[in-house]
Structure 1
Amino acid sequence: MGLYSEKGLASGKTFLFSSFSKFNVQIFRNKMHFSLHKIFLDVFLDIKAMKKHFIHIASAILIILSGISMPVYGNEILKDDNLVIRAFEAENSEDLSSSWKASEDFLKLIDSYSSFIFRTKKSQTIEKVNFVLEVNSFGRIVGFELLNEADKGLKERLDFVIRQLPDFQPVLGASNFKPEKLEVIIQK
């Protein structure tokens, strides 16, 4: 575990630990204090080594229990009655799994703005709105492209709504977080 001094070994008071730079010298009053500190160090080093895996497991359990936004390595990132978000199918793309997921606030904002999006006579005739969101490597929305034919007002309203949307969150277990295009379908 570490080094100890000859004097400390005899009196049980001074031990030098090479593994912790901020705790180079520790003074222990009795053997019980030393053993408790040794247990703490062992547990701390184990937790430090397992921290990444523990966070992934705990987050996965929380996501499973929440049930609303399930980050899955698949085509669909978020699906609801009126909203579908999925990886945009590019022509040369083989892997459609996304490294980003939408938060619960994303769904709430789209629901609250759906009447605003479909408020004019022209936009009320449209059953669903398809658009592609461009997400950068930090999860921020940097642009969008409307796939439906739409009037200028619908484009401006969508632009306003997209500026209000929260950033995407990284999916647990993703190896890299690259810029992506995500297709969003909002149904009336």
Structure 2
Amino acid sequence: MPLRNAIDLARLPGTILPDLACLPVGARLVSVDGARELLPRMPGLWAHGLQRELVMARLYEGDLALATAETEDLARHGDPAHPWAGHRTIGYWLARHGEAQEFFKRWKTYGAAHERGDMRRIKELLVHAVAERHGRRVSWEVTTDKRVGPTMRYLCFELWAQRGDVEGLLAFFDGEGADLLPEVDQLLRISEPGSACAVRR
């Protein structure tokens, strides 16, 4: 759908009003090349939003290398206050698709020290997407990386919680996840607020 990447932009962590002004690019009412010509004429926040949209458009073309090249060019000529904006958009894309290895490979480009709430939401998306696409054990391994950390381990089990699937959670701890937590902690995970049991009740 032509509006798909525009909608994704609106859902990006940290999206603000100037970002939404870039929806015509996502809707293909303005070409990527045409939008790039506008970039030097836009004030900071508006340029920041356009950076994100241009990179998202390249990602929807299915070429990560081209998106990276676009990002690097935008970092040189775009909003100087947010040189990492395009890189972080790639990070969002990788997180959403559960591509943990490539996500961490590019970590230094994300400007993670800036707008940390934004980065936290992207990391949460990564853990959740990895759990959904590659399994809970793999998502657990993602949380062992200090850049994510153990505070996000609850996301490894969130799908069960959302579905109220107590049996699924128990089967996981009886099977592939048997060695992830001591038995007492497994019981706490099942019974604590926000767990599958709590949701089912």
Smaller-chain TM-score range? under 0.3
TM (norm. structure 2) is 0.21
| Bigger helix fraction | 2
Higher Rg of the two aligned structures: 1
| Bigger strand fraction | 1
